[in-house]
Amino acid sequence: MSDLDRMIEDSLREADGRSPQLDLEPGYFAQAISLFTGRTAWVHWMIMIAQALMFIGGVFCAVKFYQADAVMEALRWGLPSVVLLVIAAIFKTALGPRMETNRLLMEIRRVELRIERMRAERG
């Protein structure tokens, strides 16, 4: 057995002891909340803060747009509103691929754990 196999085995034993729900896939909201923990949590927090600020600014501009009497005034508020709301939506969807990456990593851990359990049963 190589050093890499031993490291994987040790880490899986630790994970198996600490996390009995390794065989269960977490729900959508649990996956979304897990984005805000770990080493890259600060990036996700910044994305969500920027997204929230753009959404609030977009709604503010939209309210001003609907209150405008003149066409030029409506355009001055309407265009920034649309741009801010679209960018806020794009920022929100930027977190989706990270959730899929986390799901893939969890599935790889499950496969490693199953392989290690099969090895342990044989030997």
For residue 84, the model assigns a pLDDT of 97
Provide the sign of the torsion angle of the four alpha carbons 95, 98, 100, 103, taken in this order.
Answer: negative
What is the value of pTM for the model shown?
A: 0.66
- Residues 22 and 15 sit within 8 Å (Cβ to Cβ): yes
80-111 tens-digit pLDDT: 999 999 999 999 888 888 888 888 888 888 88
What counts of helices (H) and strands (E) characterise the chain? 5, 0
7-16 tens-digit pLDDT: 666 666 665 5
What's the rounded Cα separation, in Å, for the pair 19 and 22?
6
20-66 tens-digit pLDDT: 555 567 788 888 888 888 888 999 999 999 999 999 999 999 999 99
User: Tell me, what DSSP letter sits at residue 25?
Assistant: P
User: Tell me, what DSSP letter sits at residue 27?
Assistant: -
For residue 86, the model assigns a pLDDT of 97
